[in-house]
Amino acid sequence: MKLLYGTSNPAKLAHMKKVLEGLDIEIIGLKDINLKFDEIDESGNEPLENARIKALAYYKTYKSPVFSCDSGLYIEGLSKENQPGVHVRRVNGKSLDDEEMINNYSSLARKLGGQAKARYKNGICLVMDDKNIFEYDGEDIGTGSFIISSKPHEKRNEGFPLDSLSVDIESNMYYIDIENNKKNKDDNIQNKGFREFFKRTALRHLEKISSQ
């Protein structure tokens, strides 16, 4: 089964391909198809809302199975109205590049005492066809808590700039230093959550169609 992942971020595409490795699913990205999409207004206030908005918009043009994901960053010590939430890359109306993100969040951590505890909430929406739309935002596809440091690591992970600021609580290691992107316990839970989502939605839907 071929699924379009509604992203132009090569790092996110590569990560999802690795997560779903071994399943009967071929993942392609927006850059792999010769289609032009209208600009999408990601106006949702929660990750699942934006995932739904994007997936439905891409399906409207692509007319084949497509899924989109979205994340929200939530930081302890910030009021609800000041949470980055789904606007992780947007500050004061401006979209930040990787280095600007690192500067912004390291500065924020300094204001919160040098480090801040945070977590990601994720949402995913899969559109198989007009009548079969699946969505999920359970804790098993999010992350546990981690630390955002005010001191950026010298290394960079293109597409995942906050890896240079994020520190694993148990090991006290920067995410970017976790050996060969070796999965910690949190990553394993999250990856399993995404795999189980596709097993009970896309693959089960395909089985249902095949048996008819």
Of all residues in the chain, what percent carry a pLDDT higher than 90? 79
Q: Stretch 85-108: mean pLDDT, rounded? A: 94
Confidence category of residue 184, pLDDT binned at 50, 70, 90 = low
pLDDT, residue 54, reads: 97
Q: How confident is the model at residue 92 (pLDDT cuts 50, 70, 90)?
A: confident
- Which residue do the tokens 């007319």 mark? 63
pLDDT of residue 21: 95
A 10 A CB-CB count for 119 gives 16
pLDDT of the residue at 111: 96
Per-residue pLDDT for 129 more than 60?
Answer: yes
Q: Counting beta carbons within 10 angstroms of the beta carbon of residue 147, is it exposed (0 to 12), middle (13 to 18) or buried (19 or more)?
A: middle
| Per-residue confidence (pLDDT) for residue 188, from 0 to 100 | 80
Residues making up the chain, counted from first to last? 212
Q: What is the pLDDT of residue 186?
A: 66
Overall average pLDDT of the 162-175 stretch: 94
Query: Which one has a higher pLDDT value, 43 or 148?
Result: 148
Q: Does 141 have pLDDT greater than 80?
A: yes
Residues 33-51 have a mean pLDDT of 90
Handedness of CA 134, 46, 177, 164 (dihedral sign): positive
Angle, alpha carbons 77-140-32 (nearest 5°) = 100
Sign for the pseudo-dihedral over CA of 180, 184, 188, 194: negative
**Mean of pLDDT values over 190-203:** 96
Domains of the chain: 2-210 (3.90.950.10)
Judged against a pLDDT cut of 80, whether residue 146 lies above it is answered with yes
Q: Provide the pLDDT for residue 185.
A: 59
Model confidence band, residue 176 (pLDDT cutoffs 50, 70, 90):
very high
Above 90 in pLDDT, residue 36? no
Asked if pLDDT for residue 187 goes beyond 90, the answer is no
